[in-house]
Structure 1
Amino acid sequence: MTSTPTARAELARGGALSFVGSAVSAVMGLVLIVVLGRLLGDAGSGVVLQAVGAFTIALGVARFGMDSAAIWILPRQLDDERAMLRPTGAFLVLVSAIAGLVCAGVLFAGALVVEAQNPGDDVAHAIRSIAWFLPVASVMLTALSATRALGKVTAYVLVGNVLLPTLRPIVIAVAVGVGAGAVGAAFAWALPLLPAAIAAVVVMLWQLRRLGRTAQPGFLRSGVPSRTIRYALPRVMSSGLEQLLIWLAVIIVGALAGPAAAGVYGAASRFVAAGMIVDTALRVVVSPMFSKMLHRDDRSGLESVYRTATVWLVLFSTPVYVLLAVFAPVALSLLGGSFADGEPVLVVMAIGSVVTFLAGNIHSVLLMSGRSGLAAMNKAIAVAVNVALIYLLVPIWGITGAAVAWAAACAIDAALASVQVRVVLGLRVSPVPGLYPLIVALITFGVPSLALRLTLGATWLSLFAAAAAGALLFLAWCRLDRRRLHLDELRRPSG
């Protein structure tokens, strides 16, 4: 059984690599938003972002839960069913490809219906142009999840966090440069999925060949396919709902207030998404660890890793959101003057993200326990709250109302998962471990940021000065209190 210190060291090593990849992905995501804003304006960006939103929501269903199933089942097979690795990997990819094709047909048909009712609708035209990339994307995500579940975080990072997000703004800039409009930009956004999917599948096949034993006949009768499908079915709904929670507001805002408003809201929300680099980095590493620990009934080890990951998540994420909230006008100025209305959206979503982080990687714990049905129920409740609040608040507060709706829905989702993990799994989880690192980040970054904003205003100079002052204070505090913040684990060698 893996010792707790070794598990923490594994978390630190994998988390550091994943953090680098997530940082690259976040930066390139911001570059993508800047490219869209500068080249297409708020209305053109709104068209692309609404198409991307529809595609991403459909992708949540198209991958048919196979990416999450890979993270759940493959680490367990590495322990005691290595002969099942190869057929299981092939099964996961095949199912996601078939589901992707079906969803692509449905999405394409839906776009045709919208165009028939509203000829010349650029959003529908853009959706139609990228719909057939759904099976490519679903296979890519499943293969990447398999590589991560089999211990190859490097491949997951290089393909999913570096190759794909780096290619997208380059291809879009080239497409718009040769005369493509918003529809062409949407197609250019989807095109890099092809090389990314090929790379992901090649790495997965290499890993399966290296780690798996020769498969015995009778895989379909082994019970693995039925177990996998039973786990994945609730994830189909849950994944679709997760993407609805992220992207539905962009589409509804576009319908209620037009593509320009959707472009502003979508751009502001992308800044918030880019700030989730630590959350993404830790989730990549802890999910397979949680699956193994739950499989071995190592509850104390899981609780220890969960607490450490929560401390790091809050400690390293909060500074980003403090700077985004205090200097929102500066960040949005990268996109152009027409995006200034996104300031309150950025502030509200930054605060909502920090509050949600107090729950740590609670969704990963719930999913890796096999309770995908509970996760799906939570997402359904969160999406229902989100939609209801959007229709209630957007007519009153505009796009700021959509941001409030999103923050409330995310908090409810995290709270439900926390209660279920405590009651159903009997694990000791709470927001308490995140409170102290929250105080550290708020003091070290929040105080100088507010002081400089009030004295120098919202300028690039004040932003850089606040970031520099905050970093010095933050590093000093972390150095002096490294044991309480679990930072000694970052230097501990593997055991």
Structure 2
Amino acid sequence: MGQTKDQAIRDIVKGAGFVYSGLVLEMAIAFLAQVLAARYLSASDFGGVTAGVALLNIGAIVSSVGFGNGLARYFPRHDAATKSELARASFLITFPVSVVISGLVTLNAEFLAADVFGDPTVTPSILIFGATIPFAATLRVVVGGIQGQKNARYRVYVENLVRPVVRFSLVIVAVVYGLGQAGFAGSYAIPYVLGSVLAVVLLARTLPELTETWSVDWDLTRSVLRYSTPFILSATAGFIYRSADIFLLLYFLDSEAVGIYGVAYAAAKLMLMFSTAFNFMSMPVASELESGGGIAAAVDVQRPVLRWITAASIPVFVPLVLFSPEFISIVYSSRYAGGAVALSILVAGFAVHNVLSTQSNLLKALGRSKLIAANSAGSAVVNVVLNILLIPRWGIEGAAVATVISYLIYDALFTLELWYDTGEVILGRDLAEPVALALPLLAAVWYVKPIVPPSIAAIVVTTALFSTAFLVTLLVVTGIRPEEEMVILSIQERLGVESRHLNTLLERLS
């Protein structure tokens, strides 16, 4: 079942390229939907939708019992019949759990809104998103199965096409008919329903045996559960250090502050698209490599991936950090401009997390789910404590600082544990070089910023010029690694084209 290093890199890059294309499309559509929601809702109502989405996420995390991670790790290790039995077991376990949790949330929506969140106006969002929990839980599990099948195409169909397109269409309906908070909440919730149905159909296509019987290998299922259940704690803790600030802002301040912070947080998440694309294929590939010959091969494959993620992340600093006030005011509305500092803080933290978080794939491949859960729990505790201390003093900027610190602690733990477990340190020159080359270029953009017109066109042109200068500098100074040359040549071969000029350039830079 082993893979060569070159083939593993090809698989990751191929899958990442497909997922990245889907992510770009999804983010463009989701971005427009969010802008419409932010512009046509009051900051308070937008905060209600943001809180509702956060509640939906935690309900889905707990209801899925971590099976998404379990299927992603165990599918590459078994035949089709065994995979089908694992998928059936995941449905039989997660569906009733999700229905119970959904019922508890919807029946207590008014209590949660008034007494827990301290804002009765978010009741419609809690009702709608609470009822959607079973579908969101199913989606988490099935996408994990699709990931385990290493099928990037189906993941893109569900997560990057159907859900965002449906959401955008429904947001337009909510805008045209003035449906308010409930209408926008429904626009965000219904795509989970349709997405979960489509995901189940697509997974069944990759596993024809899935619907033949309802037999289940309960011995194997218990092994998968032992691996998967710690991810409930891990994902819940991850949710906490991603979303505790939302609930605590709602508690200490108000839903308007949540709306402003929600805009900053959503914009900062653009940074994470690069690691998301690579992680989708990196995790099952690492699992297959580890099962076939040890973790060393997976670590070797991970190093060039980190270089690409680092290089891809740096240009995002231009619009989201150097021009953060202009970006928020132009794209969303001037009433959200107060989130500019929080956006800059979050982007800086997410940039580091974008690179270091990929190490979790190696620990997942090693089966260290309990260790990952402990890391997440510790980081979550730090996040909550810091939010409680910093939000009353510094508001949304305090929430941003708390989030970034908790992410850095989380990533530092992964780095230390990977070194302790394997003796490998994947951080090094490949990461340092792009950062060192980017710093003077970012300083130059900051220097000329006062003469750049405050318009979206000017920001886009400035970002494009920076990206071009950075890429050329990186290639000239560091050259092209053998793995990168191999990938470029394989892409040419796959497309059936060959560029003599490109091959000449590769020879000079390699």
Match of 1:148 in 2: 147
Return the letter of the residue paired with 1:473: A
How much has 1:279 moved relative to structure 2?
0.9
TM-score by length of 2: 0.90
Return the letter of the residue paired with 1:466: T
Residue 317, structure 1, aligned to residue 316, structure 2: no
How much has 1:228 moved relative to structure 2?
1.0
How much has 1:482 moved relative to structure 2?
4.3
Find the residue that maps to 2:132 and give its secondary structure.
helix
Trace 1:211-230 onto structure 2 (pairs within 5 A).
219-220=217-218, 223-230=219-226
Candidates 452, 456, 461, aligned match of 1:465: 461
CA distance, structure 2, for counterparts of residue 8 and residue 117 of structure 1: 51
Greater shift in the superposed pair: 435-444 or 144-153: 435-444
TM-score by length of 1: 0.92
Return the letter of the residue paired with 1:85: K
* CA-to-aligned-CA distance 1:305-361 (integer Å, 9 cap, x gap): 110111111110121134310111122111111101001001101111122234250
Match of 1:284 in 2: 280
How much has 1:425 moved relative to structure 2?
3.9
Structure 1's unaligned 5+ residue stretches are none
CA distance, structure 2, for counterparts of residue 53 and residue 115 of structure 1: 13
CA distance, structure 1, for counterparts of residue 280 and residue 17 of structure 2: 11
Residue 386, structure 1, aligned to residue 375, structure 2: no
* CA-to-aligned-CA distance 1:268-317 (integer Å, 9 cap, x gap): 00001122111110011101011111112333321111101111111101
Return the letter of the residue paired with 1:207: T
**Structure 1 residues 274 and 371: alpha-carbon distance in aligned structure 2, compared to 1, 3 A threshold:** same
Q: Is the 8 A contact 2:272 2:354 kept in 1?
A: no
Structure 2's unaligned 5+ residue stretches are 494-510
Residue 247, structure 1, aligned to residue 240, structure 2: no
Find the residue that maps to 1:151 and give its secondary structure.
coil
**Structure 1 residues 116 and 259: alpha-carbon distance in aligned structure 2, compared to 1, 3 A threshold:** closer
Match of 1:16 in 2: 17
Residue 182, structure 1, aligned to residue 181, structure 2: yes
Q: Is the 8 A contact 1:30 1:274 kept in 2?
A: no
Trace 1:67-146 onto structure 2 (pairs within 5 A).
67-77=68-78, 81-114=79-112, 117=115, 121-146=120-145
How much has 1:214 moved relative to structure 2?
8.5
Find the residue that maps to 1:276 and give its secondary structure.
helix
**Structure 1 residues 362 and 254: alpha-carbon distance in aligned structure 2, compared to 1, 3 A threshold:** same
CA distance, structure 2, for counterparts of residue 181 and residue 251 of structure 1: 21
- How many residues are matched? 488
Find the residue that maps to 2:229 and give its secondary structure.
helix
Give the CA RMSD over aligned residues: 2.4
**Structure 1 residues 388 and 213: alpha-carbon distance in aligned structure 2, compared to 1, 3 A threshold:** closer
Residue 5, structure 1, aligned to residue 3, structure 2: no
* CA-to-aligned-CA distance 1:237-279 (integer Å, 9 cap, x gap): 1111111221221121122111111100011000011221111
Q: Is the 8 A contact 2:60 2:140 kept in 1?
A: no
CA distance, structure 1, for counterparts of residue 42 and residue 301 of structure 2: 44
How much has 1:491 moved relative to structure 2?
1.1
CA distance, structure 1, for counterparts of residue 95 and residue 203 of structure 2: 15
**Structure 1 residues 43 and 115: alpha-carbon distance in aligned structure 2, compared to 1, 3 A threshold:** closer
Match of 1:364 in 2: 361
Find the residue that maps to 1:370 and give its secondary structure.
coil
CA distance, structure 1, for counterparts of residue 216 and residue 277 of structure 2: 37
Match of 2:403 in 1: 406
CA distance, structure 1, for counterparts of residue 294 and residue 178 of structure 2: 58
Return the letter of the residue paired with 2:347: A
Greater shift in the superposed pair: 21-30 or 343-352: 21-30
Trace 1:224-239 onto structure 2 (pairs within 5 A).
224-239=220-235
**Structure 1 residues 313 and 120: alpha-carbon distance in aligned structure 2, compared to 1, 3 A threshold:** closer
